[in-house]
């Protein structure tokens, strides 16, 4: 059972909602430990890959390019820039 809401596509999220989701990679807001935390991060990572379709996959989060800010904001910006460069829809309006 997932600890985050599953949406069909990235443009079902506002930019703020997606940034909040990315914050889960940095904060353990569910107070998980051990295997529970590892499973949550793996599920979230798999979801990120499916949702964003970014060619670097979870590397955007775990191994960002040198020029990319390694924060939730930096992840959102990288996803947004790449999707726009590909002509793909991004976030829904606030």
Per-10-residue mean pLDDT for the chain, 94 residues long? 80 95 92 92 96 97 93 97 96 84
CA distance 46 to 29: 19
CA distance 85 to 79: 10
Residue 94 lies in a domain: no
Which CATH number is 37's domain given? Answer: 1.10.1200.20
Which pLDDT does position 4 carry in this prediction? 76
Which pLDDT does position 21 carry in this prediction? 95
Residue 31 belongs to domain spanning: 10-85
Residue 52 lies in a domain: yes
Residue 4 lies in a domain: no
Residue 93 lies in a domain: no
Which pLDDT does position 62 carry in this prediction? 96
Q: Which residues contact 49 (CB under 8 A, 6 or more apart)?
A: 57, 58
**Domain tally, the chain:** 1
Is residue 90 within 8 Å of 37, Cβ to Cβ? no
CB neighbours of residue 37 within 10 Å: 13
Is residue 11 within 8 Å of 89, Cβ to Cβ? yes
Residue 79 lies in a domain: yes
């Amino acid at each position: 059972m997932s600890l985050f809401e599953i949406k069909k596509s990235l443009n079902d999220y506002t930019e703020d909602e997606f940034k909040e989701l990315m914050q889960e990679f940095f904060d353990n807001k569910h107070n998980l430990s051990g295997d529970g935390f590892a499973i949550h991060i793996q599920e979230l990572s798999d979801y990120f890959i499916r949702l964003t379709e970014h060619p670097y996959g979870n590397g955007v989060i775990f191994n960002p390019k040198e020029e990319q800010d390694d924060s939730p904001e930096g992840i959102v910006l990288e996803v947004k820039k790449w999707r726009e460069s590909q002509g793909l829809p991004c976030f829904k309006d606030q």
